Structure 1
Amino acid sequence: MMLITGGARSGKSRFAEQVAEKRGGEVLYIATSVVTDAEMAERIRYHQQQRPAHWHTFESYRDLGNIILEHQVQFPTIIIECITTLMTNLLFDIAGETSVEDMDFEAIEQHIFAQTTQLTKVAQQADSEVIIVTNEVGMGIVPDNLLARRFRDIAGRVNQQLAAAADDVYLIVSGIPVPVKTSE
């Protein structure tokens, strides 16, 4: 299992795709984004155009461990793009229209951790090389609102969980991969 992290537009996806291309063989790209507005639709379209046309895409953000189990024989490489978006979708699945002040962040975090724990366990044992992309959201200023602060905290803990389980971890800085943890 490989974890690739970094800031927004740092080159994380491109690096993940380069690693997959070098490995060769069939690639399954699990995209966790959902179209919520015109901007998100454009972002999704951009990422789709960047991927090789022969790759297979599966769009989901729930139960990714099960998706890996179902497809690991067919695909030697599986990319999950991205955990931060997965977390956002899971958060709003649980919170729905609840006001930020009334959100049960403990329940939200437990639900997200259940999903990422299942993903981590399967990814570590999968026949496929699983490449997970996530955003590093904790290197900036402390956000000025409750939702952003709580999200940043949960994301930090999830990223720690993933990094601890990964064989290889890369931090992407301005398009340059910096090895943080390697199995070599």
Structure 2
Amino acid sequence: MATITFITGGARSGKSSFAQRLAEQQSENPVYLATARIWDEDFANRIKRHQADRDERWTTLEEEKELSKHDFAGQTVLLDCITLWLTNFFYDCNYQIDEALEAAKAEWTKFIKQDMNLIVVSNELGMGVHPENESARKFADLQGWMNQFIAKQADTVYLMVAGIEVKIKG
């Protein structure tokens, strides 16, 4: 089973930077597991900024959904992020929240059976403005339920607030 460190917080709270520092402290050659689909030019630029933050010690692997098909045994893996990974399920399941949650939980459960050091970044969408449309509200619910599912299994959980990590479990 994976040893899981779960890092959550709001947008631009410092989650990815903190996760990257942890991974670099725990491994000379960490793996960056990117889950994003490139939806538009702005998003492509965000990805480039994240890539520029990592040096030659990192191995980057892009995987939109099927995390468990890769062998990470014995490695330190930074998964960034659960929110983008869930977006892929939500979209592919035609915005059906129950179907997306079931598929994501099943894939997550297979993925964490590997013996790895896993650092996971997610977002706390429920702490922001109440979404104005039904699809966004459904996704906020999906995100919250998946965060709870992962946090229960995590060995350590951090909440990022204004660039400061607050340990809330472990």
Letter in 1 for 2:151: A
Q: Is 1:28 aligned to 2:31, yes or no?
A: yes
Match of 1:112 among 85, 91, 104: 104
Match of 1:160 among 148, 153, 157: 148
Please identify which structure carries the higher helix content. Answer: 1
**Kept in 1: contact 2:90–2:96 (CA 8 A):** no
| Counterpart residue number, 2:91 | 92
CA distance in 1, matches of 2:54, 2:83: 20
Identity across the alignment (%):
39
**Kept in 2: contact 1:82–1:133 (CA 8 A):** yes
Letter in 1 for 2:34: A
The alpha carbon displacement at 1:114 in A equals: 1.9
Q: Is 1:179 aligned to 2:154, yes or no?
A: no
CA distance in 2, matches of 1:18, 1:3: 14
| Counterpart residue number, 1:72 | 73
Matched position secondary structure for 1:179:
strand
| Counterpart residue number, 2:125 | 137
Alpha-carbon displacement from aligned partner over 1:97-129 (angstroms, at most 9, x marks no partner): xxxxxx43322222222223323x42xxx3321
Q: Is 1:16 aligned to 2:40, yes or no?
A: no
Q: Please say which structure displays the higher CA radius of gyration.
A: 1
**Kept in 1: contact 2:28–2:57 (CA 8 A):** no
Q: Is 1:169 aligned to 2:157, yes or no?
A: yes
**Kept in 2: contact 1:6–1:134 (CA 8 A):** yes
Give the superposed CA RMSD: 1.4
The alpha carbon displacement at 1:176 in A equals: 0.4
TM-score, length-scaled by structure 2: 0.92
The alpha carbon displacement at 1:52 in A equals: 1.9
Alpha-carbon displacement from aligned partner over 1:141-164 (angstroms, at most 9, x marks no partner): 321110011000011010001000
The alpha carbon displacement at 1:21 in A equals: 1.3
Number of aligned positions between the proteins: 167
**Kept in 1: contact 2:31–2:77 (CA 8 A):** yes
CA distance in 1, matches of 2:156, 2:131: 29
CA distance in 2, matches of 1:173, 1:135: 12
**Kept in 1: contact 2:97–2:138 (CA 8 A):** yes
Q: Identify the range of structure 1 (172-181 vs 50-59) with the bigger mean alpha-carbon deviation.
A: 50-59
**Kept in 2: contact 1:30–1:60 (CA 8 A):** yes
| Counterpart residue number, 2:61 | 58
TM-score, length-scaled by structure 1: 0.85
Listed as ranges, the gaps of 5+ residues in structure 1 are: 96-102
